[in-house]
Amino acid sequence: MTYKEIFLETPNKKKGAVIIPTGILLHDTEWFNLQGCIDIFQDPASFASAHLLIDLDGTRYIFGKDNEKLYHAGHSIFNGRKWCNNFMLGVEFLGDTRKKPLTDDQIKSFVEEWAKPRIEKYNFINAVITDHKKVRTDYINQFGDNGGKIKAKRDIEQPEFDRIMKILF
């Protein structure tokens, strides 16, 4: 099955900044309003985006090229490197995995048609795929929360993360 892919360039990126992706950072949107998510990623005042948003039916919304620095991670650290926007691809799954698991279409679209080609192209291994909760928690643990201004994140729930990783690797 081939899932639909729609390109909607975001203004929420560092113009002219080129990254070499070394991993994938998974998120869920925490809500089920597709148009609301698209609107946020299109609003320059939000400073929020992702390389990819996957709808419940598997449709992929692409907001930037793999080599573009998009704003999806904020205060973050992964494997000793700060600022995950500088080296990771941001993926958002529409929905809240605390309330409802990812759909089979979301997982198939991500794994088979989007992630596997990039894993091969960029020679990723399972150790370079993580979630937003981990990179934010690691940042706070190492650098502090700036007097409570940097909030912890909850994100894609562990069972869903594990489900994806089991299929990928």
pLDDT beyond 80 at 126 = no
In whole angstroms, give the CA distance from residue 8 to residue 11.
Answer: 10
Query: Can you give the residue range of the structural domain that contains 62?
Result: 5-168
Cβ–Cβ under 8 Å, residues 104 and 56: no
Give, in order, the Cα–Cα distances in Å from 18 to each of 14, 52, 90. 9, 17, 15
The answer to whether residues 72 and 23 touch, using CB atoms and an 8 Å cutoff, is: no
Average pLDDT over residues 113-141: 92
Average pLDDT over residues 15-39: 96
- CATH code (residue 113): 3.40.80.10
Residue 124 has pLDDT above 90, yes or no: no
**Beta-bridge partners for 18:** 68
Q: Which residues contact 32 (CB under 8 A, 6 or more apart)?
A: 56, 94, 95, 96
Q: In the predicted model, is pLDDT for residue 72 greater than 90?
A: yes
| pLDDT at residue 154 is higher than 90 | no
Query: Which of 32-36, 102-106, 107-111, 142-146 bottoms out in mean pLDDT, i.e. has the lowest?
Result: 142-146
At 169, the pLDDT band (50, 70, 90 cuts) reads confident
Longest pairwise C-alpha distance within the chain: 49
Structure confidence at residue 127 (pLDDT): 76
Average pLDDT over residues 4-28: 96
Question: What pTM did the predictor assign?
Answer: 0.94
The confidence band for 158, taking pLDDT boundaries of 50, 70 and 90, is: very high
Give the Cα separation of 150 and 139 in Å (integer).
9
- Total domain count for the chain? 1
Rounded to whole angstroms, the Cα distance separating 79 from 107 reads 25
